[in-house]
Structure 1
């Protein structure tokens, strides 16, 4: 899979950043000294943490070199490192007051093992704060999965995404084992997008991206994109003012060590 495209991702910066703002606002943490932003992307969520806790040392970490370089350029006053959270987590310091992750962990496997390891990075009394998309029943996901599972796309796009996200009940049980207290909630964002093309632009940098990368030829890539686009136009109605409602459910939790 090719590296992430930070500029493509940031085309919808305000919409993508709002969940990070909402998660940070719920952190009831007095004067944290140090926070880690796991899967910081282009640094928009790291900037949110810095605005929420201006006296804290904030470190953004991401696997993508393109994302980290963009984050450094766009946020020169913040600290960013390249880190594979699956492989490198145990080499990180274990002295954070906050471990924060906005829209990243859905790409990381084995959450029953991952969450305790993230919790281990915290000092006693520290907080693990996470937001994970749970939009798999929304039309865009159903369209992609249904299309790629049928011929000729199965042969032309030899990829089927494995979702690492667990159920809310499973997260509840894990957090009850590893934390002293926790809270969970879900918010469905109704994003106002100007067109069906905007939905494709949004997903080309995230959920649609690995399918496009897997195409056996450029023609297959272009044809698959157009087929998904056709179905998106059918599934998402146009509002009276010409805009599209793009529903996006997201799951949140904050757990105390």
Structure 2
């Protein structure tokens, strides 16, 4: 599945804000090196670099397109092609910070994944993660409902690739694997100029598993069907804008047995 860094960065400020909010909660005054898991086009890596001047920042992503965009935009950092499900292939640990913004929902087996991420930290290091938690928002329900219709079912069955768990499951995972942890949720109310902007946002992320299975003509037809439902579900505000609600789940943790 190909990723489009330009489409992703169309909403750079909105997509980067959770990284800014997460970095502010990291209880470190200094970091020598940090790992950004699922760095995308490097916007979250830049947030880390700005928050911890002098730190060596390494960003990893499974998308060659995203790695190329990140390396071009941020030549002062290191970017490597690496699947988040195989972090051991980095051949490196002892990070002060392992950071991940809106990535691990694409990766299976979160108990193992979070254990692997914690194992990359030095004593006293911090794991900081943000995961979209918008499964109950209209856009998700619209896409799931349409994909299950007779017109699309045969092609799109099983297209959803998110592996997000319930918040209680993350509590249990961290209580077993971390020395300390904190969890919280923030719902962002993004101001978008139109219903079409919602489509542009979602085509950069959650719609991609569906559109990648369709021909160009069929993909356009599916987009039109989603847009019709989006216009029904998202009211236009008095000033002509649309509120795009986006709940996000955050946690920070320190590795067990290595202090805090």
- Per-residue Cα deviation, 1:69-125 (whole angstroms, up to 9, x for no partner): 101111121111111121343543111010000000000000011100110000111
Runs of 4+ in structure 1 off by over 2 angstroms are 87-92, 155-160
Assess, with a 3 A threshold, how the Cα gap between structure 1 residues 228 and 11 changes in structure 2: closer, same or farther: same
Residue 141 of structure 1 aligns to a residue whose secondary structure is helix
**Structure 2 unaligned spans of 5+:** 256-260
CA separation in 1, counterparts of 2:166 and 2:244?
22
Query: Are 2:38 and 1:33 aligned?
Result: no
Aligned equivalent of 1:231: 229
What is the CA distance between 1:222 and its match in structure 2?
1.1
Please, what is the CA RMSD of the aligned residues?
1.1
Moved more, 74-83 or 118-127: 74-83
Residue 32 of structure 1: how far off its partner (Å): 1.2
2:220 corresponds in structure 1 to 222
Unaligned runs of 5+ in 1: none
- What TM-score do the two structures reach when normalised by structure 1? 0.97
Map 1:96-107; keep pairs closer than 5 Å: 96-107=95-106
- SS at structure 2 position matched to 1:180: strand
**1:114 partnered with 2:135:** no
> What is the count of residue pairs matched by the alignment?
255
Q: What TM-score does the superposition give when structure 2 sets the normalisation length?
A: 0.95
Q: Which residue of 2 aligns with 1:249?
A: 247
The worse-fitting range, judged by mean Cα deviation, of 70-79 and 238-247 is 70-79
1:171-225 per-position Cα deviation (integer Å, ceiling 9, x unaligned): 111111111111000000000000000000000010011101111x322111111
Tell me the residue number matched to 1:167. Answer: 166
